[in-house]
Chains A and B, each alone.
Chain A
């Protein structure tokens, strides 16, 4: 995504909301029956959780990220959205870590099955970044727009309002510009917010792209955005683009990975990788799960639970006779090759949106962009 005016989302029909009126947005969402899920501070990080008051946002805070490292620090201003993405992603809500698929009960010789009704709670995700919209689209492609559709995911997605925010303060780990997913939001939202913090002004330039978004705007004390407001919004986006320094060269990456399963770099990364599964848990596109049955004491009832799984676990590739991917080398290679290469064959696009979470939250700081560089440096291993 380049920095030209044409690439930046069109601000026609935009309005401004004053910082002093931001609570009105939260109140309107609550009144319309939405649970508001937003960035909030917990245990030294910015995570996603339910909020009702503007004070619960990380006002005036930002994050400082690097490989295997995340720290919060104070900003000089009182921005509400002046940080990048943290350890949580929206998949926590759309594709939760644990879900009951069904319960079964034995009555004499009959067995009855029960499934929970789909979760229809309306949720408003406030502060969704461009890379995260791309990630939600990718998971929707996997769960909904395929041969089989996951009703549970589809229901939650359908009842979710996406309130996007254009990034102003990317982290050192961000590389959305390489993956063509950000930092400017372009579509996939109900409402779009650009936060403008200037010397004497603190406003939110807002735009609706759906009826649901429009219904929220109708409740707010808005003013039509002036040309100056629009110019400020564009400046925020350009500033974010310029602040992103990390890159991943995606040219021919699909082929590079598929042609180099024996590259010596895989041994190198395996010597560092802990096969701890953190990268897959924080990745907003990783979707793999496993199922397990839990029997009750009497043997009369059973629950089937779906939980997140990871290609870094041994059981993930277990067939009769054992795990197919015994070594950490084969697991890391599977993860990276799927994410950046065979994902394209399978779903028509890369599985990486450049959010940088796997870099920051890897306990030993393994950096997927650096791994790509190393794989390129020494291509095919000599036979």
Chain B
């Protein structure tokens, strides 16, 4: 079924590390086949050829951290039929959202030699705080199979087949022994969105929540169990303060366990 006109795909970068876009480039075998079906119209990491105008699907990486980007995302939304955010920065604000509610001027003065060149917003916010988002793909970085599934789903006009349950679901499907119950490891898997294939527990490493909150995250109950297993308060606060710190369920529990002066 060759469509009359190849759908146009655009990939955009905001405040981010490029890792999620690299996941698309990492689809080495698939990306050429993909280029047969769709017109990769704007993806500077992939090709210098840039087609202006309107796009059928825009993939947006990164969070909004400057006034310029706040305007730019509005323009991209206007020119995109469907807009999908890719990764923790675009979906939740990213690690850079650690600055939210803290003193940005002080951070800038400590980090940059010439603070006067820096023009940044006080907060790092997800794309959905600014424009309507059609689908949010999780992960830091995203999973390439999920990315392909999402692109294909939008191409074929169906909903992406992406589970919103916990990482535990994937752990059990692959037969991994639960490291929380069998070893007392502080694992974020039960409150974390599936999608990675439960990689960390398979390598004896507790899930650190890079996919952000799952559909019904009971972070309060999990934090209580971590305490019972011996995790100190600051460890709990830190565990919930990474790539998805600005996701409400994680932020709430991070705050509840933070020291008063923070």
Contacts and interface: CB of A to CB of B under 8 A. Distances in A.
Interface of A: 42-45, 47, 68-71, 87-88, 92, 97-98, 106, 271-278, 281-282, 292-295, 297-299, 307-308, 310, 312-315, 328, 360-365
B221 interface: yes
Contact of B168 (A44, A92, A363): A363
Interface residues of B, number: 45
B152 interface: yes
Nearest to A98: B173
B100 interface: no
Contacts of A360: 181
B149 to A, nearest CB: 7
B152 to A, nearest CB: 6
Given A68-B225, A70-B181, A273-B221, A297 B173 contact: no
A92 B221 contact: no
B169 interface: yes
A44 B178 CA distance: 9
Interface of B: 1, 30, 33-34, 36-37, 148-149, 152, 155-156, 161, 163-166, 168-169, 172-184, 187, 189-191, 204, 215-218, 220-222, 224-225
A88 B175 contact: yes
26 contacts: A44-B183, A70-B178, A87-B182, A97-B173, A271-B220, A272-B218, A272-B221, A274-B191, A275-B216, A276-B166, A277-B168, A277-B172, A278-B172, A281-B168, A281-B172, A281-B173, A294-B149, A307-B173, A313-B164, A314-B216, A328-B218, A361-B181, A363-B168, A363-B178, A363-B225, A364-B190
Contacts of A281: 168-169, 172-173
Nearest to A72: B182
Contacts of B1: 106, 299
Contacts of A276: 165-166, 168-169, 189-191
A298 B148 CA distance: 12
Contacts of B163: 313, 315
Nearest to B145: A294
Contact of A275 (B36, B148, B218): B218
Residue of B1, B181, B204, B218 with most chain A CB atoms under a 10 A cut-off: B181
A345 to B, nearest CB: 28
Contacts of A294: 149, 161
A276 to B, nearest CB: 4
Contacts of A364: 190, 221-222, 224-225
A294 B30 CA distance: 15
Nearest to B217: A274
A68 B181 contact: yes
Contacts of B183: 44
B152 A295 contact: yes
B225 A87 contact: no
Interface centre among A44, A299, A363, by most chain B C-beta atoms within 10 angstroms, is A363
Contacts of B215: 275, 313-314
